[in-house]
Chain A
Amino acid sequence: MVNDHLKQEIYFMSFRLATFLSVAILLLILVYVFKEGVGVIDMKFLTSMWSHRDITSGGIFPAIMGTVFLALGVSIISIPTGICTAIYLNEYAKDTLLTRIIKLAVRNLAGVPSVVYGLFGLSLFVVFLKLGTSLFAASLTLGCMTLPWIITTSEEALKAVPVSFREGSYALGATKWQTIKAVVLPHSLGGILTGSILGISRAMGETAPIIMVGATFFMGYLPNSPFDKFMALPYHLFILATQHSSPHAREYALGTALVLITLVFILNSGVFAIRYTLRRKKEW
Chain B
Amino acid sequence: MMKYWARITRSNYRNIKEKSIEVFFSAISITALLILIGIFVFLFITGIQAFSETSPAEFFLGNDWNPSAYTTPRYGTLGLVTGTLMVTLGSLIIAIPLGIMSAVYLSEIASPKVREIVKPVIEMIASIPSVVLGLIGILFLSPLIAGIFGLSSGLNAFTSSIIVGIMVLPTIISISEDVLTSLPQEFREASLALGATRWQMIKMTLLPAALSGIIASIMLGLGRAVGETMAVLMVAGNSRAMPRSFFDPIRPMTANIAIEIKEVVKGSLHYEALFAIGLVLFVMTFLVNFISDIIIERQVGRFKW
Contact = CB atoms under 8 A, between A and B. Distances in A.
A96 to B, nearest CB: 10
B134 A241 contact: yes
B227 interface: yes
B197 A147 contact: no
B129 A107 contact: no
Contact of A119 (B102, B224, B274): B274
Interface string A57-75: 0000000000000000000
A208 B230 contact: yes
A101 B33 contact: yes
B118 A123 contact: no
Contacts of A5: 197
B25 interface: yes
Contacts of A32: 136, 140
A207 B261 contact: no
A19 interface: yes
A16 B106 CA distance: 9
Interface in B245-274: 254, 257-258, 261-262, 266, 274
Interface residues of B, number: 84
Contacts of B227: 111-116
A29 B133 contact: yes
Contacts of B278: 115-116, 119
B300 interface: no
B281 A102 contact: no
B6 interface: no
A157 B42 CA distance: 33
Contacts of A182: none
Interface residues of A, number: 86
Given A26-B125, A120-B39, A18 B135 contact: no
A111 B224 CA distance: 7
Given A22-B98, A92-B25, A208-B258, A109 B36 contact: yes
Nearest to B296: A107
B192 interface: no
A120 B290 contact: no
A40 to B, nearest CB: 14
Given A18-B102, A268-B124, A115 B288 contact: no
A239 to B, nearest CB: 10
A211 to B, nearest CB: 6
Given A112-B227, A257-B132, A15 B101 contact: yes
B183 interface: no
B17 interface: yes
B163 to A, nearest CB: 10
Interface in B1-58: 14, 17-18, 21-22, 24-26, 28-33, 35-36, 38-39, 42-43, 46
A89 B29 contact: yes
Contact of A237 (B97, B135, B286, B290): B135
A257 B26 contact: no
A205 interface: yes
A202 B288 CA distance: 22
B254 A208 contact: yes
Interface stretch (A6-14, A43-51, A161-169, A218-226): A6-14
Contacts of B288: 111
Interface in A133-189: 144, 147-148, 151, 175-177
B97 A8 contact: no
B28 A81 contact: yes
Nearest to A258: B132
Given A19-B102, A206-B129, A212 B261 contact: yes
Nearest to A176: B18
A266 B230 CA distance: 23
A233 to B, nearest CB: 9
Contacts of B42: 119-120, 123-124, 128
Contact of B289 (A107, A122, A242): A107
A193 interface: no
A7 B202 CA distance: 13
A88 B261 contact: no
Nearest to A144: B35
19 contacts: A4-B199, A8-B200, A12-B198, A18-B101, A81-B28, A88-B25, A93-B29, A112-B36, A115-B257, A120-B38, A123-B42, A176-B21, A201-B127, A205-B131, A211-B261, A235-B131, A241-B134, A241-B234, A264-B127
Given A115-B258, A147-B31, A212-B261, 5 more contacts: A113-B281, A115-B278, A120-B42, A148-B32, A272-B120
Interface of B: 14, 17-18, 21-22, 24-26, 28-33, 35-36, 38-39, 42-43, 46, 97-98, 101-102, 104-106, 109-110, 118, 120-125, 127-136, 138-140, 166, 169, 173, 197-200, 220, 223-224, 226-230, 233-234, 254, 257-258, 261-262, 266, 274-275, 278, 281-282, 285-286, 288-290, 293
Interface of A: 4-5, 7-8, 11-12, 14-16, 18-19, 21-23, 25-26, 29, 32-33, 36, 81, 84-85, 87-89, 91-93, 101-102, 104-120, 122-124, 127-128, 144, 147-148, 151, 175-177, 198, 201-202, 204-208, 211-212, 234-235, 237-238, 241-242, 250, 253-254, 257, 260-261, 264-265, 268, 272
Closest A-B pairs by Cβ, 5 of them: A205-B129, A113-B227, A18-B101, A8-B199, A88-B25
